């Protein structure tokens, strides 16, 4: 089994897929970091060095917009919650947007969890089985004296290893590069988590501060979980679809549909059982309202786990029974 995993790892590395992922990160992260730098510079010009004035201004702006008729109800709810959170930070004298490598990484992960990282993972996962079929090497692979499920399992394990590596690399690259812009500090800065959302009210009773490094770790864990589930789904599509291009398109469409649905499906509550709208696990940490009523961290974890488990069953059943006709 170890030898099979070694085989798959060699193939993965020699296909240079993983380097592409690293390259994408190395190009995009400095871009985001630079944008962030410009933004904080312009804020500093406006508010000086006192972050309290900045937070106060944000609260006032959001409060003003609540009175406007042109703002949809949905957004108003978001903003009410946001205002209460900002006030909480202000009361406890903590800057929610303290610039720093760690803060940037935290912010970046928050935004990357539901689309960017799944896309990267899809890039390495989509062709792991289908490319063997496109190239015809699957015939060589399956005529060895090894059971098919072992071949597939070795591929799965390799994929999960690379997913973990991708998530870790994202965090590390993000921290290292943003540190160049904002400095490498901020590990012990407190971040508040545990906001209980109740309609548009925020229940502060369970809120507690955690040091930012711990928060980052929690985020990474959740993103890793999302990554694993997305990888397993991509894996299933890769088993089911013969062409690599088709399998990439299918996964991409599902992910993008997810981000669109999250923005507009709040009325269609059964959409919460779709895996794509459950990818934003880090939002639960930050206390951002879930896209659909009734979604909690536990719920999303359960939905993702069920999707992942079903995909695994389908992948193994199909792969071990399938006739290789082409």
Minimum separation from the CB atom of position 253 to another protein (A): 28
The two tokens of residue 18 are 């993983």
- Whichever of 142 and 246 has its CB closer to another protein, that residue is 142
Determine which residue in the list 9, 15, 96, 181 makes contact with another protein, applying CB under 8 A.
Answer: 15
The answer to whether 324 contacts another protein (rule: CB under 8 A) is: yes
What mask of x and - would describe binding to another protein in positions 133 to 172, judged by CB under 8 A? --xxx-xxxxxxxxxx------------------------
The yes or no reply on residue 323 touching another protein (CB under 8 A) is: yes
Query: Nearest distance from residue 166's CB to another protein, in Å?
Result: 20
Phi and psi torsions of 202, nearest 5°: -110, 125
Residue from 10, 172, 260, 302 that binds another protein (CB under 8 A)? 10
The residue among 92 and 147 lying less far from another protein, judged by its C-beta, is: 147
Residue 222, token pair as written in the block: 């959740």
What six digits make up the tokens of 61?
């702006």
Stretch binding another protein (CB under 8 A), from 5-13, 83-91, 241-249, 300-308: 5-13
Total residues binding another protein (CB under 8 A): 26
317 forms part of the interface with another protein (CB under 8 A) = no
Q: Does 242 interact with another protein (rule: CB under 8 A)?
A: no
Q: Is 67 in the site for another protein (CB under 8 A)?
A: no
| Beta carbons of 278 and 272 less than 8 angstroms apart | yes
Nearest CB to another protein, comparing residues 239 and 250: 239
Closest to another protein by CB, 14 vs 70, is 14
Establish if 11 lies at the interface with another protein (CB under 8 A).
yes
Residues 86, 51: contact at Cβ < 8 Å? no
> Residue 20 interacts with another protein (CB under 8 A)?
no
8 Å CB contact between 284 and 166: no
Q: Which long-range contacts (CB under 8 A, 24 or more apart) does 256-261 make?
A: 256/115, 258/114, 258/115, 259/114, 259/115, 261/291
Strands 190-193 and 196-198: unpaired
Write the DSSP string, 110-144.
HHHTTTHHHHHHHHHHTTTTHHHHHHTTHHHHHTS
CA contacts within 13 A on the Cβ side of 92: 16
Binding site for another protein (CB under 8 A): 3-4, 6-7, 10-11, 14-16, 135-137, 139-148, 321, 323-325
């Amino acid at each position: 089994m170890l030898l099979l995993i070694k085989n798959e790892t060699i193939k993965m590395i020699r296909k240079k897929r993983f380097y592409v992922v690293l390259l994408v990160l190395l190009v995009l992260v400095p871009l985001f970091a630079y944008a962030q730098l410009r933004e904080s510079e312009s804020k500093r010009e406006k508010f000086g060095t006192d972050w309290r004035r900045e937070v106060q201004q944000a609260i006032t702006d959001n409060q003003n917009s609540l009175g406007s008729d042109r703002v949809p109800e949905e957004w108003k709810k978001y903003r009410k919650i946001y205002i209460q959170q900002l006030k909480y930070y202000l009361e406890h004298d903590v800057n929610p947007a303290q610039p720093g490598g760690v803060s940037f990484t935290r912010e970046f992960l928050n935004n990357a969890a539901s689309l960017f990282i799944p896309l990267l993972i899809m890039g390495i996962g989509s062709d792991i089985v289908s490319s063997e079929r496109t190239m015809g090497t699957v015939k060589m692979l399956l005529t060895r004296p090894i059971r098919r499920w072992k071949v597939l399992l070795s591929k799965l394990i390799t994929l999960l290893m690379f997913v973990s590596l991708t998530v870790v690399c994202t965090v590390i690259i993000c921290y290292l590069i943003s540190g160049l812009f904002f400095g490498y500090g901020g590990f012990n800065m407190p971040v508040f988590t545990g906001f209980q959302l109740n309609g548009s009210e925020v229940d502060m009773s369970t809120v507690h501060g955690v040091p930012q490094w711990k928060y980052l770790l929690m985020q990474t864990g959740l993103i890793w979980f999302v990554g694993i589930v997305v990888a397993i789904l991509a894996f299933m599509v890769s088993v089911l679809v013969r062409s690599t291009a088709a399998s990439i398109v299918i996964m991409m469409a599902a992910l993008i549909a997810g981000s669109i649905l999250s923005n507009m499906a709040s009325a269609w509550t059964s959409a919460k059982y779709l895996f794509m709208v459950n990818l934003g696990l880090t939002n639960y940490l930050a206390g951002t309202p879930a896209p659909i009523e009734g979604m909690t961290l536990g719920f999303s974890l359960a939905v993702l786990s069920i999707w992942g488990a079903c995909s695994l069953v389908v992948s193994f059943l199909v792969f071990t029974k399938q006739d290789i006709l082409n």
